[in-house]
A and B are shown apart, each in its own frame.
Chain A
């Protein structure tokens, strides 16, 4: 089902060591006029579901109005959350549960000490409180775990934890390397990523709940399509920019020319979606050409890494010669893919 991922705010009530700086820069909330434009035009663009992210989406100053407007407009909604505000906002979700698809709680360790090391003291128990509410109030929830050097040994434990807590599933995702994650030594090497993937895939079959991976895992097929490339997912940042991808939105600071299709303060959603479709077509053609020229490297089989390079967001790696993703010396310095 086509959906739009909306970054409601880049404010956050946590300051996690592995998050993009821009995602907790605390510079703004999405204006409601932009949301209204999305809700008004979304269905004619094929959008049926709205998924909120951030920052921490539930601390948008007008979150209540947002949920009410989304429900009134007849869109299904979901959101990603660190769980901190959930005890406060869940009555609102209950009120509109007809439209509620589910909440994904970020849980970056099966063990309390691991999660809290990455996300701050007490944050694990806050996720547990949020999960408790969901279980008792019968609200669907899942967990998302970003794989880092800190939690790499807890994959099986995480699946077991999710099963026992009544989660509807667990999804693992690779960390997008940034200068900050490099300094904190959180990034896994390509080989380490593949090793973890080889642990995760069997769990898809053996676990009693759905287990999956977010786009970005190694793919033999060069054109492994993610939501945006299948034209099934649009991404809107808190400033009203329709961007290529939510995984990379905010990477390397504010979204720039290569990411942005247009700003909904100036364009209609329909116009921005048309630009998005053209941009994806260009992207795919560029990738096909690169593949034909025999320039597709082993690392390019990690799709999000490929996009990171394509969008010119890897130049910082030159300051980290020993970084595991620097080994191939194949850094793109081009930032001309507009």
Chain B
């Protein structure tokens, strides 16, 4: 998984943003719920917008005042986990 790749939410995932910034994901196939904290929500939002992982990482640096390495690691770790849970997929259009 590289920062110049894009990933997209699985089409069978329903996302719901809560009033405190948390996001709940429900996979309609497995009927399993997952919860994302506000940082995870920003990463999820980036996937929905079709951004490169590197662009999502840059956004995190700006919004949460974290260093480049921490932001990149957060993005890569979460997207890896989302893919493992079948909540996100590599975007075939990404380079």
**Residues of A at under 8 Å CB distance from B?**
87, 90-91, 112, 125, 128-129, 131-133, 135-137, 161, 164-166
25 pairs, A vs B, C-beta closer than 8 Å: A87-B16, A90-B19, A112-B28, A125-B14, A128-B14, A128-B26, A128-B28, A129-B14, A131-B26, A132-B14, A132-B24, A132-B25, A132-B26, A132-B33, A133-B18, A133-B24, A136-B18, A136-B22, A136-B24, A136-B35, A137-B18, A161-B31, A164-B31, A165-B26, A165-B31
Contacts of B26 in A (CB 8 A): 128-129, 131-132, 165
Smallest Cβ distance from A135 to chain B, in angstroms? 6
CB-based closest 5 A-B pairs: A164-B31, A132-B24, A129-B16, A132-B16, A128-B14
Q: Which residue of A has the minimal Cβ distance to B25? A: A132
Tally of A-B Cβ pairs under 8 angstroms: 35
Size bracket of the B interface: 10 to 19
Contacts of A166 in B (CB 8 A): 33
Further 12 A-B residue pairs, CB within 8 A, beyond A112-B28, A136-B33: A90-B19, A128-B26, A129-B14, A129-B26, A131-B26, A132-B25, A135-B33, A136-B18, A136-B22, A137-B18, A165-B31, A166-B33
**Residues of B at under 8 Å CB distance from A?**
14, 16-19, 22, 24-26, 28, 31, 33, 35
Distance of A133 Cα from B18 Cα, bound (Å): 7
Q: Which residue of B has the minimal Cβ distance to A130? A: B16
| Residue from A125, A131, A132, A161 having most chain B Cβ neighbours under 10 A | A132
Contacts of A112 in B (CB 8 A): 28
B16: which of A133, A161, A164 is its contact (CB, 8 Å)?
A133
Contacts of A91 in B (CB 8 A): 19
Contacts of A131 in B (CB 8 A): 26
Contacts of B31 in A (CB 8 A): 161, 164-165
Distance of A164 Cα from B28 Cα, bound (Å): 10
Contacts of B16 in A (CB 8 A): 87, 129, 132-133
Q: Which residue of B has the minimal Cβ distance to A111? A: B28
Distance of A129 Cα from B22 Cα, bound (Å): 13
Smallest Cβ distance from B17 to chain A, in angstroms? 8
Distance of A133 Cα from B26 Cα, bound (Å): 10
Smallest Cβ distance from B86 to chain A, in angstroms? 16
Smallest Cβ distance from B44 to chain A, in angstroms? 14
| Residue from A129, A161, A166 having most chain B Cβ neighbours under 10 A | A129
Distance of A91 Cα from B18 Cα, bound (Å): 9
| Residue from B16, B18, B26, B28 having most chain A Cβ neighbours under 10 A | B16
Contacts of B14 in A (CB 8 A): 125, 128-129, 132
Q: Which residue of B has the minimal Cβ distance to A163? A: B31
Q: Which residue of A has the minimal Cβ distance to B12? A: A112
Smallest Cβ distance from A200 to chain B, in angstroms? 21
Contacts of B18 in A (CB 8 A): 133, 136-137
Smallest Cβ distance from B41 to chain A, in angstroms? 13
A135: which of B17, B22, B24, B28 is its contact (CB, 8 Å)?
B24
Distance of A166 Cα from B16 Cα, bound (Å): 16
| Residue from B17, B26, B35 having most chain A Cβ neighbours under 10 A | B26
Smallest Cβ distance from B79 to chain A, in angstroms? 21
Contacts of B35 in A (CB 8 A): 136
Q: Which residue of A has the minimal Cβ distance to B31? A: A164
